[in-house]
Amino acid sequence: MSSLEASAWQNKLISSSGRFPDEKQKKIIFKFNREEIFNHEYSEKDLMEQFYNTSIENCHNKKPKRPPNPFMILRSILRKIAKDNNIEIGDGIEQSKLAGYMWGGISVEEKKKFAELSLRFNELHKQIFPKYEYKPNPRVTKFGAVVDVKTAVDYQHSSPTASIYPPEEMEFENNYSEQIYADYPESCPFTTLTYPTQPNKYSSIAVNCIPLDINDSQPTPKYSNPNPYNPSSTYKRFNSSY
């Protein structure tokens, strides 16, 4: 690690909630040349081959996965550079944490480059997998509510093929990455909750969520409604009617 490489990261490492990396994380990050990451020369074809772990000619033989968002593009580039330089960056969750601090200090112009690369990746993905459609599976919470997490990008694009999502084999680790990407207003996630109001009938509501930080143990939703929906109280009223 050179002092020049370390100085390039000064004041450019911060999480979405304003946290800073610890000394161990700094030591890892300082091994990277920031210029090499944020002014990389990787193309969408390079990342597609990494994404599917095969040549661009053979990608069509693979099972299609939902393309990555701009933050995941950064994360992929970080992994690629780490591998080429034999830099240990930990498991998927730790990689997302490191990339999250880097993403927090990104400039407008740097962010634009990753967004444009993400769009080009999506276009190439459509060419390789023209019939691909993303079909999310709703999650059931402990309250019995069906939860479907979407980003603003999903609402902007009506076509499922235009959706942005991380690779399926890293689903668990990359859920953290999706939370980091919520750092910016245009990508703030919306959570759609479907909960029972009467037997066999359901209604849906959408609530805004604050940007989430992977270091927070218990994310807290931010409601735009002055009387936020409380699942516990709803179920108490529901059960008391019987």
Show which of 67, 100, 128 is a domain's final residue: 128
Q: What is the DSSP letter of 112?
A: H
CB 153 within 8 A of CB 185: no
Please compute the mean of the pLDDT values over residues 9-18 and round it to a whole number: 90
What separation, in Å, do the N-terminal and C-terminal C-alpha atoms of the chain show? 68
| CA atoms of 107 and 134, how far apart (whole Å) | 31
**Range in 28-37, 105-114, 195-204, 215-224 with the lowest mean pLDDT:** 195-204
**Band of pLDDT at residue 113, cut at 50, 70 and 90:** very high
Domain assignment present for residue 183? The answer is yes
Are residues 164 and 208 located together in one domain of the fold? yes
**Is residue 87 packed enough to be buried (19+ CB in 10 Å), middle (13-18) or exposed (0-12)?**
middle
Q: Decide: helix, strand or coil at residue 189.
A: coil
CB 174 within 8 A of CB 167: yes
**Range in 49-63, 123-137, 160-174 with the lowest mean pLDDT:** 160-174
Question: Does the pLDDT value for residue 238 go beyond 50?
Answer: no
Show which of 105, 128, 151 is a domain's final residue: 128
Give the tokens for residue 187.
């990508």
Q: Indicate the average pLDDT of the chain.
A: 72
- Beta strand 190-198 with 146-150 is antiparallel
pTM of the model: 0.59
Question: Does the pLDDT value for residue 130 go beyond 80?
Answer: yes
Instruction: Give the structural domain span for 86.
Output: 3-128
- The count of structural domains within the chain is 2
| CA atoms of 79 and 84, how far apart (whole Å) | 9
pLDDT in the model for residue 210: 38
Question: Does the pLDDT value for residue 45 go beyond 80?
Answer: yes
Are residues 90 and 32 located together in one domain of the fold? yes
**Cα 164-168-172 angle, rounded to 5 deg:** 100
Are residues 156 and 78 located together in one domain of the fold? no
**Band of pLDDT at residue 230, cut at 50, 70 and 90:** low
Show which of 80, 98, 128 is a domain's final residue: 128
Question: Does the pLDDT value for residue 31 go beyond 80?
Answer: yes
Are residues 149 and 225 located together in one domain of the fold? yes
- If one counts every other C-beta atom within 10 angstroms of the C-beta of residue 186, the result is 9
Q: What is the DSSP letter of 182?
A: T
Are residues 114 and 8 located together in one domain of the fold? yes
Question: Does the pLDDT value for residue 29 go beyond 70?
Answer: yes
Question: Does the pLDDT value for residue 83 go beyond 50?
Answer: yes
Are residues 7 and 123 located together in one domain of the fold? yes
Domain assignment present for residue 110? The answer is yes
- Beta strand 201-208 with 190-198 is antiparallel
Question: Does the pLDDT value for residue 167 go beyond 80?
Answer: no
